[in-house]
Amino acid sequence: MSEEFVEYAGRSEPRERWLKALPLIIAAVLGLPLLAAAIYFSVQMAQMTKYLFDLGTSGWDAVVMVLLSLSGGFCLILYLAFLFIGTRRRTWKWRIQWAVATVLVAGVLPLWWLFGGFFSGASA
């Protein structure tokens, strides 16, 4: 055997593995502030929900407020799931698509709250 090393099937060089993981690493870093904003807003909604229950709210309003309180947790679960699924894909196309989906799932709730009027931009 004249070669100094044998390349195993399915094995890649460490530099190549880092390069393949780069879209997901960038997505994780870009998504963290958005995810933090989503969780922060969910905590605020949970605090308001307590007061609405004390005032005696209707059933549908209670369901909506509880779902708003849990939305940050849903966002976190989907964020982690999309990163995990992205690491299992082999082609660049799939990795980039899962990276974009990761950033979107982290940013969809803060953007919805911004355009929905929850963040007014002016402090009282």
Residue 55 within any structural domain of the chain: yes
Residue 90 within any structural domain of the chain: yes
Residue 12 within any structural domain of the chain: no
Reading the chain (124 residues) residue by residue, the pLDDT tens digits are: 555 555 555 566 777 777 888 898 999 999 999 999 999 988 888 888 888 878 887 778 888 888 888 888 999 999 999 999 988 887 888 889 999 999 999 998 888 877 877 655 544 4
* Token digits of residue 93: 């196309």
* Token digits of residue 13: 């060089």
Handedness of CA 68, 123, 117, 104 (dihedral sign): negative
Q: Taking a C-beta distance cutoff of 8 angstroms, is the pair 101, 24 a contact?
A: no
* Residue 79 structural domain: 17-112
pTM of the model: 0.75
Q: How many domains does the chain have?
A: 1
Residue 1 within any structural domain of the chain: no
DSSP state of 7: P
